[in-house]
Amino acid sequence: MKLPILIAMVAYMALVVWIGVIYSKKNKTSEDYFLGGRGLGPWVTAMSAEASDMSSWLLMGLPGLAYATGFSKAGWTAIGLVLGTYLNWKIIAKRLRHYTEVSENSITVPDFFSNRFKDEKKILSSISAIMILVFFTVYTASGFAACGTLFNSVFGLNYQVSMIVCAAVIVVYTSLGGFLAASTTDLIQGLLMSFAIVIVLIIGVVTVGGVGNVIDYGKGLEGFFDLMKYHDPASGHAVFQGVIPILSGLAWGLGYFGMPHILVRFMAIRDPEEVRKSRNIAMIWVLISLTVAVCIGFTGAALYPNVKELAGNGNQRIFIYMTTHLFHGFIPLLIAGVILSGILAATMSTSDSQLLIASACVSKDLFHGIFNKNAKEKHILMISRLTTIVIALIAVFIAMDENSSVFGLVENAWAGFGGAFGPLVLFSLFWKRTNLKGAIAGMLSGGIIAFIWPFTLAKLGGIFSIYCFLPAFIISSILIVVVSLCTEEPSDVIQKEFEEAKRLSKAE
């Protein structure tokens, strides 16, 4: 019965490996491998940025949260992400594209930080490269966990074996094809994700008897559609969420300013004048995808209430459960296989970007930038591919526990990046007075606070229970300003480059 599903999913994995092989012949330099020669068109830029952003969280974490608790927890997070996506494209994309080219043609985010502040000792690039390695390894683990969960849920296959096989596929096409392969597959994956969630929602709504029945069921659960309360599945009662959790959900949107796998897409677009077109494409995709993902959770709750398999962390399997139970017959099951490939697509589109950027940090920022400045291109690429394998192995080890929460792993990594890089990106692009010492203080404080907050102050509860990203972002911003103002002004060269990037951004 499930053979058609397996056929479709194996065919999909074969397709992405084939794309990696094709693009492996086009990577002549490290700029080609890590940035695609700054030649991405608006569609590929938009879809690769958003597909690499959402990951398996879109098809598992978010619907699962909506399925279990209703609107409040999932909805406010989705709203925050929509707002953050728009602001990121509106104020960051074009300025970053110009500034990275003006600032010694920076290829990676750590490279940009060092070039922007003329950090000859490479302190900034070293710190940021290490942070990227740590947080992206955790982020990648969440994607591998989603793959293992998918194959375990659908076929009853061993979670660990399935995860390792999927990780191997991702490593192969990423290490072969580099940025161009990752971006091209992201375009395909983004479209596949859209197809998957829309089809499942439509069939789910039809099966349950219409939108009215979904709404009626939700109204019967205390707090399910409430803005300030959420439904507690354990007690069956509504729980007041309060302002702090809502702010925590909205705060996710601010994290976009510091996500290297999204920022690098802005750096790679071929023409800054195409940013507006890319932004429009991206916003349409994000609005549709997040809305549909939340509605899938609502519909799943009406279709499959009180299912043991969906209790606890099992709620993140609701999309998988709906797909495997709504389709019957060879052709419909083949379609179900394509739909479930959407989870593979979501995972791969994020994991490939994360692996690529992390490997770039080791090979370009650490190996070439610090240890061997005369390294040949072939050696840089070799180190990059070896790093991809090592990071994947560590991520596999982290994800070995099949009860890992996809939402939890993503939440931790998102806070780390947003707190360490988000404020620095904003101040680097828009405040000329920002200097190297302020940048170092902001990056370190943001990353450290995001890491230790959940284990220290968060345990006090109350206002301290807020998502750790928000205090990390605020404190990082304050330190950037205070330390920069208390130390020497940036050099004339730095200020001249700032004005040039500003001029270019306003000229279009």
For the cut 80, the answer to whether the pLDDT of residue 407 exceeds it is no
For the cut 60, the answer to whether the pLDDT of residue 508 exceeds it is no
Q: Which range (167-176, 433-442, 468-477) has the least confidence?
A: 167-176
> Which domain CATH number covers 222?
1.20.1730.10
Instruction: Determine, yes or no, domain membership for 482.
Output: no
Q: Which two tokens stand for residue 253?
A: 């949107």
For the cut 80, the answer to whether the pLDDT of residue 124 exceeds it is yes
Mean pLDDT of all residues belonging to the chain: 87
User: What average pLDDT score do residues 313-321 get?
Assistant: 84
CA separation, residue 274 to residues 43, 184, 270, 280 (Å): 10, 18, 8, 10
Select, from the ranges 240-249, 347-356, 393-402, 417-426, the one with the highest average predicted confidence (pLDDT): 417-426
User: What average pLDDT score do residues 75-101 get?
Assistant: 93
Residues 6 or more apart whose Cβ sits within 8 Å of residue 318: 63, 64, 67, 296, 297, 300, 304, 310
**pLDDT 10s digits, 414-428:** 888 889 999 999 999
The rounded distance, in Å, linking the Cα atoms of 479 and 468 is 17
For the cut 90, the answer to whether the pLDDT of residue 498 exceeds it is yes
Q: Which range (155-159, 280-284, 343-347) has the least confidence?
A: 343-347
Read off the pLDDT band of 404 (50, 70, 90).
Answer: low
Instruction: Determine, yes or no, domain membership for 458.
Output: no
For the cut 80, the answer to whether the pLDDT of residue 350 exceeds it is no
Instruction: Determine, yes or no, domain membership for 33.
Output: yes
User: What average pLDDT score do residues 256-284 get?
Assistant: 90
Instruction: Determine, yes or no, domain membership for 281.
Output: yes
Q: For the purposes of burial, counting CB atoms within 10 Å of the CB of 402, is it exposed (0-12), middle (13-18) or buried (19 or more)?
A: middle
**């803005």: which residue's tokens?**
227
Count of domains for the chain: 1
Rounded to an integer, what is the distance from CA 99 to the centroid of its chain?
23
User: What average pLDDT score do residues 155-165 get?
Assistant: 90
Instruction: Determine, yes or no, domain membership for 310.
Output: yes
Instruction: Determine, yes or no, domain membership for 53.
Output: yes
User: Are 331 and 187 spatial neighbours (Cβ–Cβ below 8 Å)?
Assistant: no
pTM score = 0.83
Instruction: Determine, yes or no, domain membership for 419.
Output: no
Instruction: Determine, yes or no, domain membership for 56.
Output: yes
State residue 103's pLDDT score: 93
Q: For the purposes of burial, counting CB atoms within 10 Å of the CB of 293, is it exposed (0-12), middle (13-18) or buried (19 or more)?
A: buried
Phi, psi dihedral angles at 229 (to 5 degrees): -125, 160
Using DSSP's 3-state secondary structure scheme, residue 229 falls into: strand
Full residue range of the structural domain in which residue 179 is found: 3-410
